[in-house]
Amino acid sequence: MQIIDGKATAAQIKAEIAEEVERIVAGGGKRPHLAAILVGHDGGSETYVRNKVLACEACGFKSTLLRFEDDITEAELLAEVDQLNQDDDVDGFIVQLPLPRHISEQKVIEAIDYRKDVDGFHPINVGRMAIGLPCYISATPKGILELLKRYHVETSGKKCVILGRSNIVGKPMAQLMMQKQYGDATVTVCHSRSKDLKKECREADIIIAAIGQPDFVTADMVKEGVTVIDVGTTRVPDATKKSGFRLNGDVKYDEVAPKCAYITPVPGGVGPMTICMLMKNTLSAGKKEFFD
Ligand code: GUN
């Protein structure tokens, strides 16, 4: 069994990005600039955004954080998005989700210029991804593909079961694992209404668990030699931690890991790769790699 070390892989990729940025700047090019909009004071969002700003520093990017209270109106937020769309110094930007209930997340996502949508959430990027065109691929699925590639996990022709059908992970992951240029696998998507989910999992060569239910995948659900990618990051109370909680994956790691060829831990697996892939997308934005 080999543990897929997302933390070390992410650190290596960030170092590779930083090197490339210095080459670009030394050659007279522009330092990539990522902006982030954070609305309100959600604990998880604060942490994510802080880590994104730190990752920008590690990569040698310029970053700008725009903070607003949660009473900002939808119209005001849309005006902020438009300003970033118009700002030639900003290569890419994100609006951290979730947003307060009085603001339509979909409206905000669709207001972002798709050429600066480094989250890859805009329908143009989602659509281009689905038909295999150059685009920003959202960070979590992109990070999973990168881990599979860097650990030489064979995916072509393999049976891949994806647990979960969210827009951010399950759906794009299924699209990517299916496509010849990425996973080239036979893909099954299971969700809360799936019959015989256990049987589907037991036949899988690769399981990607993204349902947000702690310890959902148990040893009896997997075959020997499976590769397991755990996307779960549910906060569960833990009195031994200073924060009072720990992150729990969708996989019962201790009993599943011994049966695996490869497995990602939580934390330290998919999580660190997600921010790292946002950095990769920002580098692409700076280089105008996908769109002029
Ligand atoms: N909230 C949780 N994950 C994400 C993400 O990847 N991007 C944004 N913008 N918000 C999030």
pLDDT tens, residue by residue, 36-54: 999 999 998 999 999 999 9
**In which domain, by residue range, is 41 found?**
27-121
Q: Which residues are catalytic?
A: 52, 96, 119
User: What pLDDT, on a 0 to 100 scale, did the predictor assign at position 292?
Assistant: 83
Question: Which residues have C-beta atoms less than 6 Å from ligand 1?
Answer: 94-97, 119, 139
User: For residue 63, is it within any domain?
Assistant: yes
Q: Identity (one letter) of the amino acid at 27?
A: G
Ligand 1: which of 45, 77, 97 to mutate, most ligand atoms within 8 Å of CB?
97
Residues 155 and 218 in one domain: yes
> How many structural domains does the chain have?
2
Q: pTM of the predicted model, to two decimals?
A: 0.96
Residues 80 and 196 in one domain: no
For the domain that residue 225 is a member of, what is the CATH number?
A: 3.40.50.720
Q: Which two tokens stand for residue 61?
A: 């990017």
What is the whole-number distance in angstroms between the Cα of residue 259 and the centre of ligand 1?
32
CA distances from 163 to 5, 130, 131, 208 (A): 21, 19, 22, 6
- Residue 166, classed as helix, strand or coil, is coil
Cβ-based neighbour number of residue 228 at 10 Å:
27
What is the whole-number distance in angstroms between the Cα of residue 45 and the centre of ligand 1?
8
What is the whole-number distance in angstroms between the Cα of residue 49 and the centre of ligand 1?
9
Ligand 1: which of 48, 53, 279 to mutate, most ligand atoms within 8 Å of CB?
48
pLDDT bin (cut points 50, 70, 90) of residue 287 is very high
Q: What is the mean pLDDT of residues 23-47?
A: 97
Residues 191 and 233 in one domain: yes
User: What pLDDT, on a 0 to 100 scale, did the predictor assign at position 150?
Assistant: 98
Residues 143 and 268 in one domain: yes
pLDDT in tens, 217-270: 999 999 999 999 999 999 999 999 999 999 999 999 999 999 999 999 999 999
